[in-house]
Amino acid sequence: MKFRANLVIGGVLFAGVVVAGLFAPWLAHTDPVMDANLMYAEEPPGSEFWFGTDAQGRDIYSRVLHGARISLTVGIVSQLINTVIGVALGLSAGYWGGWWDDIVNGLTNMMLAIPSLIFALAIMAILNPGLTSLLIALGLTNWSFTCRLARASALSLKSQGYVQAAKVLGYGDIRIMLTQLLPNMLGPIIVIGTLGMGGAVLAEAALSFLGLGIRPPYPSWGSMLSDARDQITTAPWISIFPGLAIFLTVLGLNLLGDGLRDILDPQARTRRA
């Protein structure tokens, strides 16, 4: 079935990126920062340098593998921050309603009106470029979709019989939200979190490409693409391999999220069929 193919292909691609990031020091031939030799500058791919070398003579294969660590860190941590913020706001707004729901809705609409990348650019312009600043910027700019989803789920679930039974048993509001509502909305949240990780990887690459993310010489796929602009015609492999890494990572996460959606949401699978 199609959704199983998406799940398998996406899972394999994402697992490959995870393996590359976790075992980069053992899979790479050289140090991605220190091992620079101008005598081997812009060497094409071959038996010694599988992906070729850049303008400083650094092994692109090694830099791509170590760049996976940065992309995975940014994707997972920033999306985890987004998920916590979105679920906390959306769940509480949907359950409590009233003035708190109005505030959360207004804040969510404001976030949806501003492109997340523009908002992240503004935050990075204030903070110093670096991994911590990047996690803060991306972790605070893409929670609105999760918030909307959590709010809609809370509105539909809070009138269910088991929630009313929990109230009769004396459960407090926080306990009801955490034990009765949250477990029943985890499926869609996992799906949107998986898809959001792909967006975070792209956003990190874009910010690093603009010089507002991970600064050279540390290996980031976006900064590698930025460094390769001047050699796009003379040494195209410098940009091809980090660009291919971004493409495969985002493709794997999108396919994985699509497959998870079909498994965790049978109604969506029925509608698509």
> Does 221 or 262 have the greater pLDDT score?
221
pLDDT band at residue 271 using 50, 70 and 90 as cut-offs: very low
* pLDDT-derived band at 267, boundaries 50, 70, 90: low
Are 226 and 242 a contacting pair, CB within 8 Å?
A: no
Mean pLDDT, rounded, for 175-191:
87
Decide if 205 contacts 220 (C-beta within 8 A): yes
Class of residue 18 by CB neighbours under 10 A (exposed 0-12, middle 13-18, buried 19+): middle
Is 1.10.3720.10 the CATH number for 2-31+41-246?
Answer: yes
- The pTM of the full predicted model, rounded to 2 decimals, is 0.85
Mean pLDDT value across residues 67-92? 91
Quickly count: other Cβ atoms within 10 Å of residue 188's Cβ.
19
Kindly state the tokens that stand for 173.
């509001």
Contacts 24+ apart (CB under 8 A), 43-48: 44/235, 44/237, 45/237
3 state SS of 223: helix
Contacting residues for 139 by C-beta, under 8 A, at least 6 apart: 77, 78, 79, 80, 81, 82, 85
Q: Identify the CA nearest to 207 among candidates 119, 79, 86, 114.
A: 119
Count each helix (H run) and each strand (E run) in the chain, helices first. Answer: 13, 0
Short-list 228, 247, 202, 268, CA closest to 41: 228
Over range 103-107, report the average pLDDT. Answer: 92
CA distance 35 to 54: 12
Residue 270 pLDDT exceeds 70: no
Q: What is the 3-state secondary structure (H, E, C) of 15-28?
A: HHHHHHHHCHHHHC
Cβ–Cβ under 8 Å, residues 83 and 189: yes
Question: Residues 262, 5: contact at Cβ < 8 Å?
Answer: no
Average pLDDT, the chain: 85
Q: What is the pLDDT averaged over residues 198-216?
A: 84
CA 167 to chain centre: 37
Q: Per-residue pLDDT for 168 more than 70? A: yes
Letter for the amino acid at 63?
R
Asked if residue 265 has pLDDT above 70, the reply is: no
